[in-house]
Each structure stands twice: as C-alpha cells, then as structure tokens.
C-alpha cells in the first residue's frame, strides 16, 4: 500500500540558508500535518492543512511557512535556518480531521551547520 512520501530524506544546510521539505500524502488523504522532532525529543506539532487550508497551528516559528497544493502535497519552507532547527521533520496524513488515523512519513533529517 502507498505510504506517505517525504523528500528529501536528508538535507544539510548552513546557517541563514533556506530549505524546502516536501510531503506527499497517502492517496485520497486530504489532511497533512507537520511535526519537528529534536534529538531525544517527542515530536512537536508545527502546522496542519485540510483541503488546502491551514487547519491548525502549533509551535511553528515565524521563519517557517507551509502550504498545501491542489494535489494535496505539502511543502514546508524554512528560512534563516538556525543550528537549533536541526531535527527530524515528519509529515503525517489522514482522511478528514475527525479522529482519522494519522500515517507518518519516514521523515526528513535536516542538519544545519
């Protein structure tokens, strides 16, 4: 069965650079969630989209932005990268927002040097 696809899987950037992470949800899933997981930490919710509209916002820094496109894929744009942004970024998708199970992608490991 198709799973959530994230690209790239690994990314190395320098401070103050920008990065774009992509997420392709499971087919027919209309909701996408972004999470940030620092080393040894539990995932922190960043932002979610339902039917291409922002549905919820968590601890996403102002330097980050995200959107969901007409084909339901989502992109997380990160600017002015800081060392502390080094983390595993997960995308999850679900069908609807009423308790539908979230399926996680493999994550993108971002390293900021």
Partner 1 sequence: KNQVEQSPQSLIILEGKNCTLQCNYTVSPFSNLRWYKQDTGRGPVSLTIMTFSENTKSNGRYTATLDADTKQSSLHITASQLSDSASYICVVSPKNYGGSQGNLIFGKGTKLSVKP
- Residue 83 φ/ψ, nearest 5 degrees: -55, -35
| Long-range contact pairs involving 59-66 (C-beta distance under 8 Å, separation at least 24) | 60/34, 66/34
What secondary structure letter does DSSP report for 10?
Answer: E
**Which of 7, 13, 22, 45 is close enough to bind partner 1 by CB under 8 A?**
45
Counting residues that bind partner 1 (by CB under 8 A) gives: 26
CB of 16 to partner 1, least distance (A): 26
Residue 7 interacting with partner 1 (CB under 8 A):
no
Residue 92's nearest CA partner among 100, 80, 84 is 100
106 binds partner 1 (CB under 8 A): yes
Q: What is the spatial distance between Cα 61 and Cα 45, in angstroms, rounded to a whole number?
A: 11
Nearer to partner 1, 61 or 79 (CB): 61
Q: Is 70 in the site for partner 1 (CB under 8 A)?
A: no
Which positions lie near partner 1, rule CB under 8 A?
A: 4, 6, 33, 41-43, 45, 48, 56, 58, 88, 90, 92, 94, 97-107, 109
């Amino acid at each position: 069965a198709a799973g959530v696809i994230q690209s790239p899987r690994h990314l190395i950037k320098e401070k103050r650079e920008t990065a774009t992470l992509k997420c392709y949800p499971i087919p027919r899933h209309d909701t996408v969630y972004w999470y940030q997981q620092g080393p040894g930490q539990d995932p922190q919710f960043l932002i979610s989209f339902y039917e291409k509209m922002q549905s919820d916002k968590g601890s996403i820094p102002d330097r980050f932005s995200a959107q969901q496109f007409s084909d339901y894929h989502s992109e997380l744009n990160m600017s002015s990268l800081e060392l502390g942004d080094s983390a595993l970024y997960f995308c999850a998708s679900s069908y609807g927002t009423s308790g539908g199970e979230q399926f996680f992608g493999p994550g993108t490991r971002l390293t900021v040097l």
